[in-house]
Amino acid sequence: MAAQPQHRSIPVDSSEVPGPVRQRSRQACLPCRRRKRKCDGKLPCNVCQGYGYDCAYDSTTQSTTTSTSLKRSRSENLAPLQLPKKTMRLTHSLGGPSKGSTDSSILPGVIEPSKPRYVGRYSCIAFPLYVGLEVQATNLPRLHSFAYHTGVRKEPPCAVSHKIAEKVPWNIARSLIEVFTAVIHPVFGFLDMDRICVLCEKHWHGQPQDMAFEALICGILGLASLFNDSLHQETETWTVLHAKEILDDDVISRYPTLETIAAWILRTIYVRSTGRPHVAWLCSCTLMHLVEAAGLHHAPEFIMQAMGNTNPNPETSEIINRTAQVANCVHVLIAFEYGRSIMTFNRQILGHNSTIPRGPGFTSQLCSLLATIPTNQATHDVDTLIQELLSALEKLANTNVDHDFLVLLRADLTLSIYRRLRVLDPSLQQGQNDRVIAAGTTALPAARRLASQNQPWWNVVGSVFQFACSLLVMDTPASCEKLSETMDTLEMIVDRFQTHLAKEALSTVRQLVRASLEKKRKGVEALERVVGASVPDTDNPARESQIMQDIASLSPSLAAQLPIDLEYLWNMNFEMPL
């Protein structure tokens, strides 16, 4: 039996199918023309709307210049997953990378609006989408972790639930929100407090918000209670740990929303105010990783939408910018003070400092302070590093701040730079020491005011303590002159707070002062042996005056210190207060 001929299926152009004739567009948009796709001629067209391209049309007919530019684009072998034309122009104007560059701070990434998750365009998560665009698939793969593991175990369910409305009454929560708005928000102004107040009232009255919002409001209440003591310490601790439990849950942390990042900022500030430096640094690193995961470290024009075109409104963009910048400031501050590594993409965020409007708050001053800090600590050129630190020291001295906490913060950063310079070059010039002394001296009345107001900002004790240590190690007449006021300020703060850490700081400084006094006493005895003098008789003023004259003839600088330093330190009571 003869074999039946096999008929091959031949593709038929849709235009040849009987029925209504498809209306051909007279002009295709630029993205469709560049990709040789059928365009419906609308604005935006169906292709650009589906792929998230920047749909635009050429106002003139396709000229030789346009054809040449398209050929040039094809010859450069641009990837299908590319930025809109407007963004490409902006990248070029900002000095974007040339072909073959791998600078992750400039290369665009991909973000999925339904899950605010950002990945680099070279990520294994984004590659299936890249392949779909390459093969012109009708249904593009979603931005998803395909085959990330074998899947032999199910993911655990969410283990947290709404509890804050049951634990804290609404009237107390409302008063704490007012404290946060008045005390903390002016400095760390990255939240829309009007919107939060409306959502909080719903959250406490039968319309619970999502778990990320509960973590955010727990952070607000915990910080406000730290400054107001409206909550019992056990309730405050529970509130903070409840926020940590939410933020650490795998289901909640899977999608780093803006509220999740805001909650991490508040947690980092609380840990910096109450916890250990290593834990605070870890929190700040987690915070910055979440900023990267949400794509906030890039300006919106550097991010391509995976599906759709959901550009935020101006109000939301301002909140996004503020959140990214405050998160960066907190991380740089903690890492620089603690001497740990700083994440490398932070400078791009600080570079957009002008996006913080000059309003009644002090957030712009916070950003200005941290913008002076050199974050590139990987250089091996000591001379270059010293010059960067000296430049930062001068910029800090010229940065004006109007809030007492920021005055202390400026002193903290100045002292942090001084410690680095002291290690790199112990022979600092007198002018640099004067800048350090000036910054510390300005911080003393600010610390006294904050202590008298019972505002336990983390540097109320720390700034004064570090300033006292710096004055002792300088060991100059100018530094010894400021030591008395510094010790008086530290004693006043200790009497105000009466905490273990404050008493420990005062005791440590007194021990260092006692050691400095003993060192100077040995120096005086050595000088006395040189001139053949005996131990001074305190009941014989003429003899003591003669010894001072002998010391002055040998060391005028030491003689200048003795009336200020030894007389004060000799009569100081070094006993710890009960």
Residues forming beta bridges with residue 303, ordered by sequence position: 109
Q: Is the pLDDT assigned to residue 244 strictly greater than 50?
A: yes
What is the three-class DSSP state of 112? strand
Average pLDDT over residues 162-186: 95
- Span of 47-51, 358-362, 532-536 with lowest mean pLDDT: 532-536
Average pLDDT over residues 284-293: 92
Average pLDDT over residues 542-561: 57
- pLDDT recorded at residue 365: 94
Q: Is the pLDDT assigned to residue 10 strictly greater than 50?
A: no
- pLDDT recorded at residue 176: 96
- pLDDT recorded at residue 574: 46
Strands 109-112 and 117-120 come out as: antiparallel
Q: Is the pLDDT assigned to residue 505 strictly greater than 80?
A: yes
By C-alpha distance, which of 299, 236, 291 is closest to 265? 291
Cβ atoms within 10 A of the Cβ of 46, count?
15
pTM reported for the whole predicted model? 0.72
Total residues belonging to the chain:
578
Question: CB–CB of 46/309 below 8 Å?
Answer: no
512-531 pLDDT tens trace: 999 999 988 988 888 888 88
- pLDDT recorded at residue 512: 93
Return the residue matching tokens 């003393």.
444
More confident residue, 293 or 510: 510
67-104 pLDDT tens trace: 444 334 333 333 333 333 333 332 333 233 434 433 44
Instruction: Tell me the Ramachandran region of residue 354: left when phi exceeds 0, alpha when psi lies from -120 to 50, beta otherwise.
Output: alpha
- pLDDT recorded at residue 403: 96
428-476 pLDDT tens trace: 677 788 999 999 999 999 999 999 999 999 999 999 999 999 999 998 8
The string over 455-479, giving b where at least 16 C-beta atoms fall within 10 Å of a residue's C-beta and e elsewhere, is bbbbbbbbbbbbbbbbbbebebbeb
Domains of the chain, first to last: 27-57 (4.10.240), 107-146 (no CATH), 164-303+311-355 (no CATH), 379-570 (no CATH)
- pLDDT recorded at residue 464: 96
pLDDT mean across residues, the chain = 78
- pLDDT recorded at residue 515: 92
Helix (H), strand (E), coil (C) string for 535-560: CCCCCCHHHHHHHHHHHHHHCHHHHH
Average pLDDT over residues 34-39: 77
The angle at the Cα of 157, spanning 199 to 151, to the nearest 5 degrees, equals 135
More confident residue, 73 or 311: 311
User: Is the four-CA dihedral 185, 191, 195, 199 of positive or negative sign?
Assistant: negative
- pLDDT recorded at residue 63: 41
Q: Is the pLDDT assigned to residue 383 strictly greater than 80?
A: yes
The angle at the Cα of 415, spanning 412 to 420, to the nearest 5 degrees, equals 130
Question: How crowded is the C-beta side of 497, counted as CA atoms within 13 Å?
Answer: 27
- pLDDT recorded at residue 54: 75
